[in-house]
Amino acid sequence: QVQLQESGPGLVKPSETLSLTCAVSGYSISSGYYWGWIRQPPGKGLEWIGSIYHSGSTYYNPSLKSRVTISVDTSKNQFSLKLSSVTAADTAVYYCAREVGGIGSSWRYDYWGQGTLVTVSS
Protein backbone atom coordinates (compact mmCIF):
# COMPACT_ATOMS: atom_id res chain seq x y z
CA GLN A 1 0.00 0.00 0.00
CA VAL A 2 1.41 3.36 -1.05
CA GLN A 3 1.59 5.86 1.78
CA LEU A 4 2.69 9.48 1.81
CA GLN A 5 3.48 11.63 4.84
CA GLU A 6 4.13 15.37 4.85
CA SER A 7 6.42 16.99 7.40
CA GLY A 8 7.74 20.45 8.10
CA PRO A 9 7.18 23.60 10.17
CA GLY A 10 3.59 24.50 10.87
CA LEU A 11 4.37 28.20 11.21
CA VAL A 12 6.38 30.34 8.80
CA LYS A 13 7.03 34.07 9.00
CA PRO A 14 6.03 36.39 6.16
CA SER A 15 8.74 36.83 3.48
CA GLU A 16 10.47 33.61 4.55
CA THR A 17 10.60 30.27 2.74
CA LEU A 18 8.13 27.45 3.40
CA SER A 19 9.81 24.02 3.28
CA LEU A 20 7.98 20.69 3.36
CA THR A 21 9.03 17.11 2.76
CA CYS A 22 6.92 14.17 1.66
CA ALA A 23 8.13 10.70 2.68
CA VAL A 24 6.86 7.87 0.50
CA SER A 25 6.50 4.27 1.67
CA GLY A 26 5.21 1.19 -0.07
CA TYR A 27 6.51 2.31 -3.46
CA SER A 28 9.92 3.33 -4.76
CA ILE A 29 9.91 6.82 -6.29
CA SER A 30 12.63 5.59 -8.67
CA SER A 31 10.17 3.13 -10.19
CA GLY A 32 8.20 5.87 -11.90
CA TYR A 33 5.20 8.19 -11.65
CA TYR A 34 5.14 11.90 -11.05
CA TRP A 35 4.85 13.22 -7.49
CA GLY A 36 2.99 16.41 -6.74
CA TRP A 37 1.99 19.07 -4.26
CA ILE A 38 -1.52 20.49 -3.88
CA ARG A 39 -2.72 23.03 -1.32
CA GLN A 40 -6.03 24.05 0.21
CA PRO A 41 -6.53 27.35 2.08
CA PRO A 42 -8.77 26.98 5.13
CA GLY A 43 -12.39 26.64 4.03
CA LYS A 44 -11.49 26.93 0.34
CA GLY A 45 -10.84 24.74 -2.68
CA LEU A 46 -7.82 22.89 -4.03
CA GLU A 47 -4.92 24.46 -5.92
CA TRP A 48 -2.29 22.53 -7.85
CA ILE A 49 1.25 23.69 -7.02
CA GLY A 50 3.52 21.50 -9.14
CA SER A 51 4.99 18.07 -9.79
CA ILE A 52 8.27 16.22 -10.21
CA TYR A 53 9.32 13.01 -11.97
CA HIS A 54 11.83 10.65 -10.38
CA SER A 55 14.41 11.86 -12.89
CA GLY A 56 14.04 15.37 -11.49
CA SER A 57 11.97 16.82 -14.31
CA THR A 58 9.51 19.38 -12.92
CA TYR A 59 6.53 21.43 -13.96
CA TYR A 60 4.86 24.13 -11.95
CA ASN A 61 1.67 26.15 -11.69
CA PRO A 62 2.52 29.28 -13.74
CA SER A 63 1.01 31.53 -11.06
CA LEU A 64 3.44 30.17 -8.45
CA LYS A 65 6.38 29.25 -10.67
CA SER A 66 8.61 32.16 -9.67
CA ARG A 67 8.47 31.11 -6.01
CA VAL A 68 8.29 27.30 -6.16
CA THR A 69 10.99 24.66 -6.19
CA ILE A 70 10.22 20.93 -6.02
CA SER A 71 13.07 18.46 -5.65
CA VAL A 72 13.39 14.70 -5.22
CA ASP A 73 15.74 12.53 -3.15
CA THR A 74 15.43 8.98 -4.45
CA SER A 75 17.93 7.67 -1.88
CA LYS A 76 15.53 8.68 0.90
CA ASN A 77 12.43 7.98 -1.17
CA GLN A 78 11.09 11.46 -0.59
CA PHE A 79 10.41 14.70 -2.40
CA SER A 80 10.26 18.27 -1.17
CA LEU A 81 8.58 21.62 -1.70
CA LYS A 82 10.05 25.06 -1.18
CA LEU A 83 7.88 28.16 -1.54
CA SER A 84 9.69 31.45 -1.14
CA SER A 85 8.57 34.93 -0.09
CA VAL A 86 5.44 33.66 1.59
CA THR A 87 2.52 35.85 2.63
CA ALA A 88 -0.67 35.19 4.59
CA ALA A 89 -2.26 34.11 1.30
CA ASP A 90 -0.01 31.03 1.36
CA THR A 91 -1.62 29.78 4.58
CA ALA A 92 -3.10 26.42 3.66
CA VAL A 93 -3.14 22.69 4.20
CA TYR A 94 -0.42 21.31 1.93
CA TYR A 95 -0.88 17.83 0.48
CA CYS A 96 1.62 15.64 -1.30
CA ALA A 97 0.30 13.01 -3.68
CA ARG A 98 1.25 10.47 -6.34
CA GLU A 99 0.41 11.76 -9.79
CA VAL A 100 -0.72 9.56 -12.63
CA GLY A 101 -0.13 10.66 -16.18
CA GLY A 102 1.84 13.87 -15.86
CA ILE A 103 0.95 16.79 -18.09
CA GLY A 104 -2.18 16.32 -20.13
CA SER A 105 -5.24 14.21 -20.31
CA SER A 106 -4.34 11.53 -17.78
CA TRP A 107 -3.40 13.99 -15.01
CA ARG A 108 -4.79 12.83 -11.67
CA TYR A 109 -3.75 11.92 -8.11
CA ASP A 110 -4.38 8.41 -6.82
CA TYR A 111 -2.62 8.42 -3.43
CA TRP A 112 -2.57 11.38 -1.06
CA GLY A 113 -0.84 12.28 2.18
CA GLN A 114 -2.95 13.36 5.14
CA GLY A 115 -1.94 16.99 4.67
CA THR A 116 -0.16 19.46 6.91
CA LEU A 117 -1.36 22.93 7.87
CA VAL A 118 1.13 25.70 7.32
CA THR A 119 0.28 29.10 8.76
CA VAL A 120 2.10 32.22 7.60
CA SER A 121 2.20 34.71 10.44
CA SER A 122 4.67 36.84 12.35
Give phi and psi for 8, each to the nearest 5. Answer: 150, 175
As measured in angstroms, the least distance from the Cβ of 15 to other proteins is 25
Q: Which residue type sits at 63?
A: S
C-beta of 35: minimal distance to other proteins in Å? Answer: 14
79 vs 95, which CB is nearer to other proteins? 95
**Residue span binding other proteins (CB under 8 A) among the ranges 21-29, 66-74, 76-84, 112-120:** 112-120
Q: Considering the complex, what minimum distance in angstroms separates the CB of residue 105 from other proteins?
A: 4
**C-beta of residue 97 within 8 angstroms of C-beta of residue 36:** yes
103 binds other proteins (CB under 8 A): yes
CB 96 within 8 A of CB 115: no
Number of residues that bind other proteins (CB under 8 A): 22
Tell me if 68 sits within 8 A of 119, measured CB to CB. no
State how far the Cα of 12 lies from the Cα of 105, in Å rounded to an integer.
35
Kindly list the residues in this chain that would bind other proteins in the complex (CB under 8 A): 38, 45-48, 61-63, 95, 100, 103-110, 112-115
